[in-house]
Amino acid sequence: MNGIKPRLSLAQIVNMNVGFLGIQFSFGLQQSNMSPIYKYLGADEATLPLLWLAGPVTGLLVQPLVGAVSDRTVTRWGRRTPYFLFGALLCSLGLLLMPMSPALWFAAGLLWILDAANNMTMEPYRAYVSDRLDESQHVPGFMIQSAFTGLAQTLAYLTPSLLVAMGMSRDAVGGNHIPQTTTVAFGLGALLSFTTVWWSVRRVPELPMTPRALDALRAQPRTPGAIVGEIVSALREMPETMRRLWWMKLCQWYAMMCYWIYIVPSLARSLFGTSDASSAGFREAGLLNGQIGGFYNFVAFLAALAMLPLTRRLGARRVHAACLVAAGIAMWSLPLVRERAWLFVPMLGIGVAWASMMGNPYVMLAGCIPPERAGVYMGIFNMFIVIPMLLQMLTLPLLYDTVLRGDPANVLRLAGTLMLLAALATLRVKAPARAPSLPPPATLDRP
């Protein structure tokens, strides 16, 4: 065959991205609930970033390795499918167990397993979209993926509040002080994690490969040394566009970790005058964060769809820079808000930025990497997310009581400043230029 990928209908692109609903529901539950869970189990604010280390460390190790291995995998189900199916199943188990944690060490250890599973699922899924779609369909492919991110995290953030609205007590807690609404929300996440990925696999399977391509893949070494060598080679030969994306990713993901970890403690102090995790005010701050987090993710869902024509017309670089500016202003303004209703205004800025972060950088990336290395480069690109997270978690505890004066509001202001710097870094990114393809392994048949 000639290796041309068939164009997919909009319905097919939607179906292939349904799995992102489950993956991102899981991430949304972690973003909105892990700091409160740690506080319920006895953690103090200064050490919260260290307890979040599981995400960036597992992402740093798992995603590039899974990416490189999946590039060379040959199974009856395809190259990527075995990884994100197994990862989704393991993630479901982790979500079921998390709210049952009897102690802080158990929750922290379980988060390592949960994040490893999420990362095992995430990278092959990104590569699967790049594999399956022609370059002319990368914008709708990744922006619809972004829309599902917004929708999933809207549901994840709002689920505890919806359960309260349906009659569950907001103050009902288990023996470990974790609210029962959190336990039910994680159970729903466990159900969605696997079933949505399975739906996408069944509805839009991977493209079959030609016998020549299969022979070329089987001939490639799969030893640990060969896999590590492939990652090192890909790093050395990284396209210039991708190198420049690093600075934007450094600032924006350091900022997002500041926001996710400290938004609940900040709201508890600014609106309820407490930092006591056992107080009703702190639990109310957790529910409020679910409501505003659900709102900004719903904004992200709508914004991702609205960005389709904008990104095509103006380019991913300009659109992304504008969205990051909106987030920077929003994060700076959050500590000034003293009324619940006004919190939803800055969430507009965070929502449009979140939509862009989940789509536009991947549009810029997919246009500059060789398709036969999509897996390893998507894995390396995830390192551009997890390394900033890791830096945040290791450095912020050193700054919290000194430079930031032990005030979570100052952490949000730092996040806003970094978002503005990320916008400037985005404008320095060159327009993507397709990297030259390597020899035959990526050749695909029509289905």
pLDDT, position 432: 53
Give the integer Cα–Cα distance in Å for 349 and 444: 41
| Both structure tokens of 111 | 């988060």
Across residues 282-308, what is the average pLDDT? 88
How confident is the model at residue 405, as a pLDDT? 87
Alpha-helix runs per DSSP H in 166-237? 180-203, 211-219, 224-236
Q: What is the pLDDT of residue 439?
A: 38
Q: Which of 297, 299, 287, 351 is nearest to 324 (CA)?
A: 351
Q: What is the pLDDT of residue 301?
A: 87
Question: Considering only 133-147, 374-388, 426-440, which range has the smallest mean pLDDT?
Answer: 426-440
Question: What is the reported pLDDT for 145?
Answer: 84
Shortest CA distance to 140 belongs to which of 319, 7, 320, 33? 7
Q: What is the pLDDT of residues 220-254, one digit of tens each?
A: 766 777 778 888 888 888 888 888 999 999 999 99
Give the alpha-carbon dihedral of 101, 105, 106, 111, to 10 degrees. Answer: 100
Average confidence (pLDDT) over 368-379: 76
**pLDDT tens digits, residue range 178-211?**
989 999 999 999 999 999 999 988 898 887 776 7
Q: What are φ and ψ of residue 402, in 5° steps? A: -105, -80
What is the arithmetic mean of pLDDT over 245-267? 93
Sign of CA dihedral 212, 215, 217, 221: negative
pLDDT for 2 beyond 80: no
Q: Whole-angstrom Cα distance, residue 282 to residue 266? A: 10
The confidence score (pLDDT) of residue 368 equals: 79
Residues 97 and 107: their CA atoms lie apart, in Å, by 9
pLDDT band at 322 (very low <50, low <70, confident <90, very high): very high
Summarised one tens digit per residue, pLDDT across range 330-350 is 999 999 998 899 999 999 999
Give the 3-state secondary structure percentages of the chain, helix then strand then coil, rounded to 5: 80, 0, 20
pLDDT score for 171:
83
Q: Kindly report, residue by residue over 202-221, the tens digit of the pLDDT.
A: 898 887 776 777 777 676 76
Q: What is the pLDDT of residues 397-445, one digit of tens each?
A: 899 989 998 899 999 999 999 999 999 999 998 765 444 444 333 333 3
Task: Write phi, then psi, for 444 (nearest 5 degrees).
Answer: -125, 145
275/109 Cα distance (integer angstroms) = 25
* Contact present, 447 and 5 (Cβ < 8 Å): no
Interior angle at CA 296, CA 290 and CA 301, nearest 5: 120
Residue with the larger pLDDT of the pair 260 and 61: 260
Name the percent of the chain lying above pLDDT 70: 94
Q: What is the pLDDT of residue 431?
A: 62
Confidence of residue 173 (pLDDT cuts 50, 70, 90): confident
Report the pLDDT value the prediction gives residue 3, as an integer from 0 to 100: 54
Percent of the chain with pLDDT over 90: 31
Q: What is the pLDDT of residue 414?
A: 97
Single-letter amino acid code for the residue at 256: M
Confidence of residue 321 (pLDDT cuts 50, 70, 90): very high
Closest by CA to 188, choosing from 259, 332, 92, 325, is 92
Q: Do 416 and 331 contact (CB within 8 A), yes or no?
A: yes
Q: How far apart are CA 337 and CA 344, in angstroms?
A: 10
A 10 A CB-CB count for 381 gives 24
Alpha-carbon distance 213 to 209, whole Å?
6
pLDDT, tens digit (0-9, with 9 covering 90-100), for 24-62: 899 889 878 888 899 889 888 777 888 888 777 877 777
